């Protein structure tokens, strides 16, 4: 399974690179939510590989509905995280694949093919960037932290749109970034490049592999109250652990998402 998850991510990344910057045709799922043929082809490549070996496993992926048989094994797939970046030729995107066994994340891969960085985590065995073992950063105050976030596609319509949080964190941290691929934001927390990350209304495929990476690199992931989060949580706060409470204090004061905001 470890080989399968890594090889599938690498192959899908190769496919994405083959189409990158070649005038890819864009379709709109909604006014701001894009999809390209690269998203769909990457997804079918990954699913084909998984189904070849494990036809009975469940699959949750962004671009299709593959049903749910109640298997103990579920693969959670974002075939192209950072589609907007990809469609505009901005080279920051990834393939994200995770494996849950009986509802627990066991394996995760986030692969950025443009820079050739493959992040891998296995529960209990650590997190790695290519061959290097990962450890979250040791920065202990928000004042000195580099943070990352993102905005859901419905941010123009939602009250919980993240604008106020962004302004607050921008003032109280060293700086905030909005790179455009949540899986890579989480992977970057695991790698100690970002000290913290928050976002609202992410989907299971944005989160799954990244959560395991952060945890296996010694970081902490929760909702905005500090409670454990599931893949269906509307709030994600990930950090090196040391600045978690400081970030939580800000996140508890703002406009937070409710179930009816789920797109
Ligand atoms: C999006 C990216 C982005 C995040 C959005 C996601 P997509 O995923 O991860 O960083 O802010 O909320 O939907 O659509 O590029 O796979
Ligand atoms: Ca995504
Ligand atoms: Ca996607």
pLDDT of residue 263: 46
Identify the CA nearest to 166 among candidates 158, 178, 156: 178
Ligand 1 centre distance from Cα of residue 123 (Å):
25
pLDDT of residue 261: 55
pTM for this entry:
0.96
Check if the beta carbon of residue 8 is closer than 8 Å to that of residue 44. Answer: no
Q: Which residues of the chain have pLDDT under 70?
A: 259-263
> Is the alpha carbon torsion for 72, 73, 78, 79 positive or negative?
negative
Residue ranges of the chain that CATH labels 3.30.540.10: 2-133
Residue ranges lining ligand 1, Cβ < 6 Å: 78, 81-84, 150-152, 180-182, 199, 202, 206
pLDDT of residue 29: 79
CA distance 167 to 147: 12
Angle at which helix 182-190 crosses helix 204-216, to 10 degrees, equals: 0
Q: Determine the atom of ligand 1 nearest the C-alpha atom of 205.
A: 16
Q: Determine the atom of ligand 1 nearest the C-alpha atom of 185.
A: 10
Supply 159's token pair. 């009250």
CA distance 1 to 23: 35
CATH dotted code for 142-262: 3.40.190.80
CA distance 116 to 24: 21
Residue ranges of the chain that CATH labels 3.40.190.80: 142-262
Which residue from 181, 194, 201 has its CB within 8 A of the most atoms of ligand 1, so it is best to mutate? 181
Identify the CA nearest to 80 among candidates 98, 95, 59, 70: 95
pLDDT digit string, tens, across residues 149-176: 999 887 777 888 899 999 999 999 999 9
Q: Determine the atom of ligand 1 nearest the C-alpha atom of 86.
A: 15
CA distance 158 to 147: 22
Q: Determine the atom of ligand 1 nearest the C-alpha atom of 206.
A: 9
pLDDT of residue 195: 99
CA distance 59 to 73: 8
pLDDT of residue 259: 45
Identify the CA nearest to 83 among candidates 203, 233, 165, 222: 203
pLDDT of residue 62: 97
Ligand 3 centre distance from Cα of residue 107 (Å):
19
Q: Hey, whose CA ends up nearest to atom 16 of ligand 1?
A: 81
Ligand 3 centre distance from Cα of residue 51 (Å):
20
CATH 3.30.70.260 fits 2-133, yes or no: no
pLDDT of residue 105: 98
Largest Cα–Cα distance in the chain? 50
Instruction: Give me the half-sphere count of Cα atoms (radius 13 Å) on the Cβ side of residue 69.
Output: 12
CA distance 12 to 14: 5
């Amino acid at each position: 399974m470890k080989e399968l998850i890594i090889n599938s991510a690498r192959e899908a990344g190769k496919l994405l690179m083959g189409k990158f910057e070649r005038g890819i045709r864009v379709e709109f799922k909604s006014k701001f939510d894009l999809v390209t043929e690269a998203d769909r082809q990457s997804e079918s490549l990954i699913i084909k590989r998984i189904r070849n070996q494990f036809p009975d496993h469940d699959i949750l992926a962004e671009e299709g509905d593959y049903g749910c048989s109640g298997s103990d094994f579920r693969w959670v797939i974002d075939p192209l995280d950072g589609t907007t970046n990809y469609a505009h030729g901005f080279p920051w995107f990834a393939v994200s694949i995770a494996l849950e066994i009986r509802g627990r994340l066991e394996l995760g891969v986030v692969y950025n093919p443009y820079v050739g960085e493959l992040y891998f985590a296995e529960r209990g065995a650590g997190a790695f960037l290519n061959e290097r073992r990962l450890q979250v950063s040791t920065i202990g105050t928000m004042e000195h932290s580099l943070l990352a976030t993102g905005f859901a596609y419905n941010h123009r319509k939602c009250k919980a749109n993240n604008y106020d949080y962004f302004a607050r964190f921008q003032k109280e941290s060293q700086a905030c970034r909005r790179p455009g691929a949540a899986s890579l934001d989480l992977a970057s927390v695991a790698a100690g490049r970002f000290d913290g990350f928050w976002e609202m209304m992410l989907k299971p495929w944005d989160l799954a592999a990244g959560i395991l990476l952060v945890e296996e690199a010694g970081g902490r992931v929760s909702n905005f109250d500090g409670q454990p989060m599931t893949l269906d949580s509307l709030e994600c706060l990930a950090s090196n652990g040391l600045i978690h409470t400081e970030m939580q204090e800000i996140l508890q004061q703002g406009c937070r998402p409710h179930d009816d905001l789920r797109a």
